[in-house]
Amino acid sequence: MKKRIFVAGGAGYIGSVVTNELLKSNYQVTVYDNLSKGHKSSIPKNAKFIKGDILDRRKLERTFKETRYDAIILFAGRIEVGVSMEDPGVFYLNNVVGSFTLVETAIANGIKKIVFSSSAGVYASKDTPLVETDLIGPASVYGHTKRITEEVLSWYNKTLGLRYAALRYFNAAGATPPDRGEAHQPETHLIPLVLQVALGQRKNIKIFGNDYPTPDGTCVRDYIHVLDLASAHILALKALDKQDNLVCNLGNGEGYSVKEVIETAREVCKHEIKAIVAPRRPGDNAILVANASKAKKILGWKPNVPDLKDIISSAWEWHKSHPKGY
């Protein structure tokens, strides 16, 4: 029998790509999404869709009583680092209370496995690649909400036997043209914003701070293709048959500064992309680069599109064909 997976936030950028890959790997998928940020048209046709909020315990109860799910993948949540510093309450409510509500309702209904979208934002900045045991020290409310949820999962694991994987994504990027790409509303992420400049939709890209302790003064991140994230989720689901908890980084182990990302996009798009220096964005870490040895060793994971140029090329292809997003 096909395994049934409940994907909370499956209409979003990463969730919809993972849903598609799950279907291709012969899972049955139900997408549960409130469509506050996600796009209905990005949900793969063969997935069942339920419009709902992870804060809505009654709806979750009904859904779990109706269908038995083998596992949950939790993407639903707010993701904008900058906004989290202006409006922390929205983040604690959606990401902490929402995740808690989903976990609690799942366990009360006999669902014992969950794969959670965590983030590199749980770490303190470090100028060498981060391993999972490195210092936890979120620089933003967003990162803190991810850390709290990891801790909640860990305690449900110890007390009630919840099996969980917390996947600490570094910077998800790239697209799976022609169908799916990154289009947030409003957009706050570097690569889609840079591509909007290339498309003539924005005058320039603002570089948030050029006085960080990094080689060129701009923040350094590790960009990972969304399909490589997807393959890790499927491996993590399988790993939970054998082990009851897993925390691992997902990144390529290469750091690129904001300036380097813009320069690479110029090469890919063959457009001049005007950049201007702006003040730092509150909540940003200077450097976040992954050491993903653990995911490679334990999950047998291997990124297929590690090169930043290829990642940006896939995003560019999608953006050119979807200039208005979804």
Contacts to ligand UDP by CB under 6 A: 81, 171, 188-190, 193, 205-208, 219, 221, 258, 281, 284
Residue nearest to ligand UDP (CB): 219
Smaller CB separation from ligand UDP, 175 or 219: 219
Given 32, 123, 142, 164, the catalytic residue: 142
State how far the Cα of 66 lies from the Cα of 292, in Å rounded to an integer.
38
Q: Which residues of 65-81 are buried (b: 16+ CB within 10 A; e: fewer)?
A: eeeebbbbbbbbbbbbb
Nearest CB to ligand UDP, comparing residues 56 and 254 = 254
The minimum distance between CB 284 and ligand UDP, in angstroms, equals 5
DSSP string over 45-67? TTSEEEE--TT-HHHHHHHHHHS
Q: Which helix H or strand E contains 220, and what residues bound it?
A: strand 220-221
- Shortest distance in whole angstroms from residue 124 CB to ligand UDP: 14
User: Residue 28, Cβ neighbours under 10 Å: how many?
Assistant: 18
Residues 6+ apart with CB under 8 A from 145: 77, 78, 84, 91, 92, 95, 96
Report the residue number, 101 or 188, with the smaller CB distance to ligand UDP: 188
| Residue 3 vs 281, nearer CB to ligand UDP | 281
142 included as an active-site residue: yes
Q: Nearer Cβ to ligand UDP, position 60 or 190?
A: 190
Smallest distance, ligand UDP to C-beta of residue 285, A: 8
Q: Do residues 40 and 82 lie in contact, with contact meaning Cβ atoms separated by under 8 Å? A: no
Q: Say how far residue 236 (Cα) sits from the centre of its chain.
A: 15
The C-alpha atoms of residue 98 and residue 4 are separated, in whole angstroms, by 22
For 234, other C-beta atoms within 10 Å of its C-beta total: 20
Q: In a 3-state reduction of DSSP, which class is residue 226?
A: helix
Q: How far is the CB of 84 from ligand UDP (least distance, A)?
A: 10
Q: Are 168 and 142 spatial neighbours (Cβ–Cβ below 8 Å)?
A: no
Phi, psi dihedral angles at 140 (to 5 degrees): -140, 160
Give the shortest CB-171-to-ligand UDP separation in angstroms: 5
Q: Which of 29/172 has CB closer to ligand UDP?
A: 172
Burial class (CB in 10 A: 0-12, 13-18, 19+), 203: exposed
Pick between residue 111 and residue 311 the one whose CB is nearest to ligand UDP: 311
The nearest distance, CB 258 to ligand UDP, in angstroms, is 4
Angle between helix 13-24 and helix 226-239 axes, rounded to 10 deg: 60
For residue 273, give Cα distances in angstroms to 5, 106, 188, 195, 308: 41, 47, 17, 8, 17
Q: Report the nearest approach of ligand UDP to the CB of residue 130 (Å).
A: 13
Catalytic residues: 142
